[in-house]
Amino acid sequence: MTTRTDSLVQAGLASRAVQITFAGLLGLFIIVGTGFTSLPALHNAAHDYRHSTGFPCH
């Protein structure tokens, strides 16, 4: 019983690490990547968000 619990915990930790990594990459893309888009609405939204969080963008 202990072995099975340990293996489930290990799988859960690995899965959580992958989820956190991809969430971070998606957030980084949204904040930084959309600032360089040619669509004005996306650019302005990213620009305003960066200013509100203190992220330098100029």
For residue 38, what is the DSSP state? S
How is the chain split into domains, by residue range?
2-53
pLDDT for 20 equals 94
pLDDT for 32 equals 77
pLDDT for 3 equals 58
**Rounded-to-integer distance, Cα 40 and Cα 50, Å:** 15
User: What is the CB neighbour count within 10 angstroms for residue 49?
Assistant: 15
Strands annotated E in the chain: none
User: What is the CB neighbour count within 10 angstroms for residue 21?
Assistant: 10
User: What is the CB neighbour count within 10 angstroms for residue 46?
Assistant: 20
Instruction: Render pLDDT for 5-57 as a digit per residue (tens, 0 to 9).
Output: 555 556 677 888 999 999 999 988 887 777 677 788 877 877 788 788 887 76
pLDDT for 43 equals 76
